[in-house]
């Protein structure tokens, strides 16, 4: 038990430093899935981890449409969007992986992109883990929740698209599941992680813990004057 606790702590530290995640973003009439540190295809990295992803689009009236994900002509997967989506979210099965002598881990990603007003209603994503922007005056915070409950002390990476991996900030959530407030404007790329000390078997492989990673892409515009 002591060994597993030490491993989970090490995994959390590693996750904070590992800035490669599954992101979904909107490009014209398509939703695009990538694996990297930004909401854009990585020219040097094919998003193999994003291959087993299911996506759903929701419109302003709450109607949901299951999307068909296929390989794009580049380092991304794509899905045609229906008219008027306000949010696209999904689940990625990344399977069981193992690094060196560390116990094997089962990984899931929950990518989400908000289209339009990031503070509108009805923008929730996966129940297992989700990230949502919260307005605080002229700043924005990000709330991490699982099954409707706040996740305290979650590791969260917050960056702005196009600013570079080295500019992203690693922060933690408070007791209400909220990150510190951010004043910058632009396209945010956010990733939140939690690790469960729960073992089992998946796809014929044993694992010692489960890592959940929720990602968010949203545009926070400058305040109107």
pLDDT at residue 224, rounded to an integer: 65
Place 13 in a pLDDT band, splitting at 50, 70 and 90: very low
pLDDT confidence band for 225 (50 / 70 / 90): low
Beta bridge partners of 88: 57, 113
- pLDDT score recorded for residue 166: 86
Dist CA 62 CA 85 (whole Å): 9
- The confidence score (pLDDT) of residue 222 equals 80
Is a pLDDT exceeding 80 seen at residue 97?
A: yes
- Determine the average pLDDT of the residues in 156-166: 93
Least confident of 6-20, 36-50, 179-193, 208-222: 6-20
Residue 49: band (very low, low, confident or very high) from pLDDT cuts 50, 70, 90: confident
pLDDT tens for 61-74 read 999 999 999 999 99
How many percent of the chain have pLDDT more than 90? 79
DSSP 118: T
Closest CA to 38 of 51, 20, 53, 54: 20
Instruction: Examine the pLDDT at 212 and tell me if it is beyond 50.
Output: yes
User: Going along the chain, which residue ranges are E strands?
Assistant: 21-27, 30-36, 53-59, 64-67, 70-71, 77-80, 85-97, 105-114, 130-136, 139-146, 149-150, 155-160, 169-172, 186-196, 200-202, 205-207, 209-220
Beta bridge partners of 136: 139
What is the C-alpha end-to-end distance of the chain, expressed in Å? Answer: 56
How much is the pTM?
0.89
């Amino acid at each position: 038990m002591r060994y597993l606790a030490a491993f989970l702590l090490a995994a959390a530290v590693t996750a904070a430093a590992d800035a490669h995640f599954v992101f979904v973003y909107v490009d014209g009439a398509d939703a695009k899935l990538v694996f990297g540190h930004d909401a854009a295809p990585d020219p040097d990295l094919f998003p193999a981890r994003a291959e087993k992803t299911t996506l759903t689009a929701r419109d302003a009236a709450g109607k949901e449409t299951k999307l068909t994900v296929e390989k794009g002509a580049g380092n991304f997967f794509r899905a045609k969007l229906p008219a008027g989506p306000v949010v696209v979210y999904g689940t990625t099965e990344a399977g069981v992986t193992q690094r060196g002598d560390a116990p094997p881990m089962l990984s899931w990603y929950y990518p989400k992109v908000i289209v339009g007003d990031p503070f509108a209603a009805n923008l929730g994503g996966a129940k297992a883990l989700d990230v949502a922007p919260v307005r605080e005056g002229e700043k924005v915070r990000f709330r991490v929740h699982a099954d409707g409950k706040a996740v305290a002390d979650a590791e969260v990476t917050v960056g702005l698209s196009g600013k570079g991996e080295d500019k992203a900030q690693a922060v933690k959530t408070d007791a209400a599941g909220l990150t510190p407030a951010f004043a910058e404007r632009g396209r945010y790329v956010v990733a939140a992680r939690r690790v469960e000390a729960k073992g089992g078997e998946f796809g014929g492989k044993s694992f010692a813990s489960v890592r959940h990673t929720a990602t968010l892409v949203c545009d926070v515009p400058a305040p109107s004057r």
